[in-house]
Amino acid sequence: MTWATDSIFVAGGDFVDDHWPDFQAQSGVSAVVTIAPDRPRAYGEPQPVAALWLPVADEAAFTLEQLTLGADFIAAALAAGRKVLLHGPLGVHRTRPLVAAHLLQQGKSLARVLRELEEKPWLPPYQGDAAVLGELSNRFRHAQVVPARGDSRD
């Protein structure tokens, strides 16, 4: 368990579920993305303000749509001033693709994102589908294209 960024915490296993009130009070996390094949159990009080469940069994099983949804959820939570928990209850590194998706959405290159993930002492080398991350990077890059001044798309 650690901070992936200043506002994104990653954790695996049951510790967060078992100690949610204390964890939430200490971390300030109020938005949660749970990555698990089975529906997550409910959090105790205080409930997260926002929550997303992505039914993913392992790191390489993320779809482009799931990564986009996760990155959009993270971006919205951060824009609202929330800290975000990426939680994989089984503890098998399913949070890495979402960290990567967030960094790609922030405009970082795929090569840089993969390098940064591998440099983190808490993450073994990325085992997910780099091709899906490449597609995601292209999607985000195209979404950020703004028409030139005076360019009419009507």
- Assigned domain for 103 exists: yes
- Assigned domain for 75 exists: yes
CA distance 1 to 120: 12
* Number of independent structural domains in the chain: 1
Residue in the block written with tokens 């997910």: 128
Domain at 88, CATH number:
3.90.190.10
- Assigned domain for 154 exists: no
- Assigned domain for 7 exists: yes
pLDDT of residue 18: 85
Per-10-residue mean pLDDT of the chain, 154 residues long, equals 89 86 94 93 89 92 94 97 92 83 94 85 67 91 58 36
- Assigned domain for 109 exists: yes
pTM of the model: 0.86
pLDDT of residue 29: 96
Domain that holds residue 110: 2-143
For the chain, percent helix, then strand, then coil, each to nearest 5? 40, 15, 40
Q: What is the DSSP letter of 95?
A: T
